[in-house]
Amino acid sequence: MIWLVLVLGSIGAGWLFGRGDASENARAAAASASVHLLTAALGVTFGLYGRDRIRLRRTYASPTLAYLGKALFFASLSPAAALTLSPVAWPMSSLHLSAGGCALGAALWLGNLPTRL
């Protein structure tokens, strides 16, 4: 639940302090959404591959890395949500960085969860 507050708080801060155009940000993000979603899906795929390696006992799960991956995922998702849904004047190239961070975070998060929770 705290992660949802982080994402919504970043959007709210963007509306309070932003000086850009929200509709232009949303339009540009929608135009490049397929690339960024594919990047995040690639991270999920690598995470599920790592999860399968844990299930087959080729490697060990690390709850610490899983938690750090979760934190990285939501820390990368917050600026992307703020850029997409609020009037901030950031460059659109920062969405590429956020998508890469989300992919890495999802791979670490899903790939290091213990087999039994």
Q: What is the DSSP letter of 61?
A: -
Tokens of 50: 């790592």
Under DSSP, is residue 30 helix (H, G, I), strand (E, B) or coil? helix
Q: Over its length of 117 residues, how does the chain's per-residue pLDDT go in tens digits?
A: 788 888 888 988 888 888 888 888 899 999 999 999 999 999 999 998 888 887 888 778 888 999 999 999 999 999 999 999 999 989 999 999 999 999 999 999 999 888 775
pTM recorded for the entire structure: 0.86
Tokens of 54: 């844990």
**Nearest to 69, CA basis, from 113, 5, 11, 114:** 113
Q: Where are the domains of the chain?
A: 20-111
